[in-house]
Structure 1
Amino acid sequence: MELKEYQQGVLSKLDRYLTVLAEQKEDAEDLLTVKKSKGKTAKLGDYCRDAWDQLNTERLLPYLHQGGNAVVAPYLSRHDGLHRSIPNICLKVPTGGGKTLLATASLERVQTDYFKRQTGLVLWVVPSEAIYRQTWKQLADREHPYRQMLERASGGRVKMLEKTDAFTRRDVESQLCVMLLMLPSAARKSKETLRLFRDSGRFTSFFPVEDDSEANSTLLDQVPNLDQNDLSDIGFGEGVVPGSVSIKQSLGNVLRLVRPVVVIDEGHKAYSDTARDTLAGFNPRFVLELSATPNTNKKHQSNVLVNVPGADLKDEEMIKLPINVFNEAKGGWKHTLTQAHEKQRELENAAKAFQAESGRYIRPIVLIRVERTGKDQRDAAQVHAEDAREYLRDQLGVKEETIRLKTSSADELADEDLLSATSPVRFIITKDALREGWDCPFAYALAILSRTTATTALTQMIGRVLRQPQARATGLPALDECYVFTFDQDVTQAVNGVRKGLEDEGMADLASSVKSVDPGTGQPQNVRRETLHRRGKFADLPPIFLPRVLHRDPTAEDGYRPLDYDRDVLGSLDWDALELLGADKAALDDDKLERTVARVTIDRKAKETGQTVFELEQEAVEALPEEGIDTPFLVRQLLDVVPNPWQGMRLLDETLAALRAEGVTNEQIYVNRLDLVQHMKADLRAQVNAMAEQLFHEKLESGDIALRLVSSHDPALNWKIAETLEVAVSDVDPLLHRKNGEPLEKSLFEKVYQKEFNELEKNTAWYLDESQCIYWWHRIAVNQGSYGLQGWQRHRVYPDLLACVHGVDEGKFRFSVLETKGDHLKGNDDTEYKRKLFDLLTRYAEMTSTVGQLDLEDDGTPIRFNMLMEQDWRQSLTEEGV
Structure 2
Amino acid sequence: MRLQFKVQRFQTEAVAAVVDCFAGQPRSAPGPCNAPLRTERLLDDVRAVQRRGGLPLSTALATSEAAPDAPHLDVEMETGTGKTYVYIRTIMELHRRYGWSRFIVVVPGVAIREGVRKAFELTAEHFRQMYGTRPRPFTYDSSALHELDRFRSGAGVQVMIINLQAFNSSSRENRRIYEEQDGFGSRRPIDVIRASRPIVIIDEPQRIGSARSLESLSRFAPLMVLRYSATHRVRHDLVHRLDALTAYRRKLVKRITVVGIEGEPGPARRRVQIREVIRAHLDKERELYARGVKVLSLLFIDQVIRYRDYSREDQLGDYARIFAEEYRSLTAGEPDGPYRRYLDGIPVERTHQGYFAIDRRTGRMIDGTASDVDAYDLILRDRERLLSLDEPVRFVFSHSALREGWDNPNVFVIGMLKSSDDIVSRRQEVGRGLRLAVDRHGERMEGINELTVVADESYASFVAGLQAEGDLRAITDGRRVRRSPAPVARTARTAVHRVAFDSAELVARCVAALDDGLAPRQYVVQTADSTRIHPVTTDRMLDPVGELAELTRLTRRTIAAILTAVRPRTFALCGRDGAAAIINREKAALIDAGQRRGTTIGAPVRGCSNTSTSC
Work out whether the TM-score is over 0.5: yes
- For 2:45 and 2:435, the matched residues in 1 are separated by 36
Aligned to 1:480: 449
- For 1:129 and 1:502, the matched residues in 2 are separated by 31
- 1:305-344 Cα shifts (integer Å, max 9, x gaps): 1111224432453321133233254862222322222222
Which runs of no fewer than 5 residues in structure 1 stay unpaired? 26-43, 65-69, 205-247, 356-360, 525-882
User: What is the one-letter code of the residue matched to 2:355?
Assistant: K
Aligned to 1:861: none
- For 1:49 and 1:324, the matched residues in 2 are separated by 51
User: What is the one-letter code of the residue matched to 1:351?
Assistant: L
1:317 to 244, 247, 251: 251
Mark the CA change 1:339 to 1:49 in structure 2 (over 3 Å): closer, same or farther: farther
User: What is the one-letter code of the residue matched to 1:320?
Assistant: K
1:275 to 213, 221, 225: 213
- For 1:61 and 1:186, the matched residues in 2 are separated by 38
Which deviates more, 403-412 or 7-16? 403-412
2:114 to 133, 144, 148: 133
- 1:457-493 Cα shifts (integer Å, max 9, x gaps): 8555211222221384532xxx322112245x3xxx3
Q: Scaled by the length of structure 1, what TM-score is found? A: 0.43
1:174 aligns with 2:147: no
Aligned to 2:102: 121
Contact 2:138 2:159 in 1 (8 A): yes
Mark the CA change 1:187 to 1:177 in structure 2 (over 3 Å): closer, same or farther: same
Which deviates more, 51-60 or 276-285? 51-60
- For 2:158 and 2:49, the matched residues in 1 are separated by 35
- 1:271-300 Cα shifts (integer Å, max 9, x gaps): 22332233233222232221212244xxxx
1:60 aligns with 2:46: no
Mark the CA change 1:80 to 1:443 in structure 2 (over 3 Å): closer, same or farther: closer
- How do 1:478-517 residues align onto structure 2 when only pairs under 5 Å count? 479-487=448-456, 489=457, 493-498=458-463, 509-510=471-472, 513=475, 515=477, 517=479
1:364 aligns with 2:301: no
- 1:64-118 Cα shifts (integer Å, max 9, x gaps): 6xxxxx665753145888x7x424322211211111111111001112211x25x
Aligned to 1:790: none
Instruction: State the shift of 1:56 in Å.
Output: 1.9
- How do 1:165-564 residues align onto structure 2 when only pairs under 5 Å count? 165-167=144-146, 169=149, 172-175=152-155, 176-187=157-168, 194-204=175-185, 249-296=187-234, 301-327=235-261, 329=263, 332-352=269-289, 355=291, 361-374=292-305, 375-376=308-309, 384-397=318-331, 399-400=347-348, 401-408=350-357, 409=365, 413-416=375-378, 417-450=385-418, 458-470=426-438, 472-475=444-447, 479-487=448-456, 489=457, 493-498=458-463, 509-510=471-472, 513=475, 515=477, 517-519=479-481, 520-523=525-528
- For 1:452 and 1:293, the matched residues in 2 are separated by 17
User: What is the one-letter code of the residue matched to 2:404?
Assistant: E
Partner of 2:226: helix, strand, or coil? strand
- 1:371-395 Cα shifts (integer Å, max 9, x gaps): 433455779xx97343234324554
Contact 2:124 2:134 in 1 (8 A): no
Higher Rg = 1
Instruction: State the shift of 1:263 in Å.
Output: 1.6
Instruction: State the shift of 1:516 in Å.
Output: 6.7
1:149 aligns with 2:144: no
Q: Scaled by the length of structure 2, what TM-score is found? A: 0.60
Mark the CA change 1:459 to 1:156 in structure 2 (over 3 Å): closer, same or farther: closer
- For 1:495 and 1:364, the matched residues in 2 are separated by 23
When the two structures are aligned, how many residues end up with a matched partner? Answer: 427
Aligned to 1:695: none
Mark the CA change 1:203 to 1:86 in structure 2 (over 3 Å): closer, same or farther: farther
Partner of 1:180: helix, strand, or coil? strand
Contact 1:325 1:517 in 2 (8 A): yes
Contact 2:77 2:242 in 1 (8 A): yes
User: What is the one-letter code of the residue matched to 2:14?
Assistant: V
- For 2:40 and 2:172, the matched residues in 1 are separated by 31
User: What is the one-letter code of the residue matched to 1:292?
Assistant: A
User: What is the one-letter code of the residue matched to 1:173?
Assistant: S
Backbone CA RMSD of aligned residues: 4.0
Instruction: State the shift of 1:407 in Å.
Output: 2.4
Partner of 2:51: helix, strand, or coil? coil
- For 1:323 and 1:387, the matched residues in 2 are separated by 27
Contact 2:409 2:434 in 1 (8 A): yes
User: What is the one-letter code of the residue matched to 2:463?
Assistant: V
- 1:616-668 Cα shifts (integer Å, max 9, x gaps): xxxxxxxxxxxxxxxxxxxxxxxxxxxxxxxxxxxxxxxxxxxxxxxxxxxxx
1:158 aligns with 2:158: no
User: What is the one-letter code of the residue matched to 1:474?
Assistant: E
Mark the CA change 1:292 to 1:186 in structure 2 (over 3 Å): closer, same or farther: farther
- For 1:63 and 1:295, the matched residues in 2 are separated by 21
User: What is the one-letter code of the residue matched to 1:352?
Assistant: Y
Instruction: State the shift of 1:412 in Å.
Output: 5.3
Which deviates more, 326-335 or 342-351? 326-335
- For 1:191 and 1:378, the matched residues in 2 are separated by 33
Partner of 1:336: helix, strand, or coil? helix
- For 1:80 and 1:461, the matched residues in 2 are separated by 27
Which runs of no fewer than 5 residues in structure 2 stay unpaired? 29-34, 332-342, 358-364, 366-371, 379-384, 482-524, 530-615
User: What is the one-letter code of the residue matched to 2:77?
Assistant: V
Instruction: State the shift of 1:430 in Å.
Output: 2.6
User: What is the one-letter code of the residue matched to 2:51?
Assistant: L
Partner of 1:13: helix, strand, or coil? helix
Name the structure, 1 or 2, with higher relative contact order (CA <8 Å, separation 6+). Answer: 2
Aligned to 2:16: 12
Partner of 1:428: helix, strand, or coil? strand
Contact 2:478 2:527 in 1 (8 A): no
- For 1:324 and 1:91, the matched residues in 2 are separated by 29
- For 2:36 and 2:119, the matched residues in 1 are separated by 39
- For 2:188 and 2:435, the matched residues in 1 are separated by 41
Contact 2:304 2:356 in 1 (8 A): yes
Mark the CA change 1:11 to 1:188 in structure 2 (over 3 Å): closer, same or farther: same
Instruction: State the shift of 1:500 in Å.
Output: 7.5
Mark the CA change 1:459 to 1:340 in structure 2 (over 3 Å): closer, same or farther: same
Mark the CA change 1:156 to 1:100 in structure 2 (over 3 Å): closer, same or farther: closer
- For 1:267 and 1:80, the matched residues in 2 are separated by 11
Instruction: State the shift of 1:197 in Å.
Output: 0.3
Give the % identical residues. Answer: 19
